[in-house]
Amino acid sequence: MNKQSKKIFGLFFRYSAILLLGIGNLYIIYKILTPLTIHTINKILLIFTDTTLADNIIFTTKIGIEIVPACVAGSAFYLLFLLLLSTADIKPKTRAKAILTAFAMFFTLNIIRILILIPLANTSYFEVVHWIFWHIISTLFVIGVWFSVVKIYKIKSIPIYTDFKYLKSLINPVKKSKRKKKHN
């Protein structure tokens, strides 16, 4: 398989993986991350208080904390996955590390977000703080994680755009050679 064929195959594989992970309203993401989020929050709370776990609700001596899909933030994880898979010119090993790094960073930030909200659950501030976290802070988390991963792994390509430019160059190779002749 030549270099161009490998690149086209890789491009097809990356975008197929994006589509597959998105099937079923992000079923795979939520299947993995929901129990992971619930059990992580429960283990942390156990340090401070007794808890009882019933399905997706963690009961403490004072409150019940329901971890709903929005708490898990599966769409944010999917966005990070999409950004990293739709970015060209990343070696597979580096891409895997970048995805794991992005997921670990965002998972940690999301757990911290939930832990900050728990003490506010029965206060008049909860709805306002929750709205700010949900609509503003979570967005900043995703942006911050993306830029951190780009910096850590020295990613130079632009998601989707670099792939689009490459595909366009395959479709219109004549224009490229005409430009070279004009400059000579």
8-36 as b/e: b if 16+ CB within 10 A: eebeeebeeebeebbeeebeebbeebbee
Nearest one of 106, 91, 75 to 155, comparing CA atoms: 91
Distance CA 87, CA 160 (A): 6
For the chain, the structural domain boundaries read 3-183
User: Tens of pLDDT along 5-21?
Assistant: 888 888 899 999 999 99
Amino acid 44: pLDDT? 97
Distance CA 7, CA 140 (A): 33
User: Tens of pLDDT along 88-145?
Assistant: 999 999 999 999 999 999 999 999 999 999 999 888 988 899 989 888 999 999 999 9
Q: CB of 141 within 8 A of CB of 76?
A: yes
* Inter-CA distances, 65 with 30, 37, 71, 110, 122, Å: 18, 12, 11, 15, 11
Q: CB of 51 within 8 A of CB of 45?
A: yes
pTM, two decimals, is 0.87
Distance CA 123, CA 61 (A): 16
Determine the straight-line distance between the first and last CA of the chain, rounded to whole angstroms. 33
User: Tens of pLDDT along 28-47?
Assistant: 999 999 999 999 999 999 99
Q: List % helix, strand, coil for the chain (3-state, nearest 5).
A: 75, 5, 20
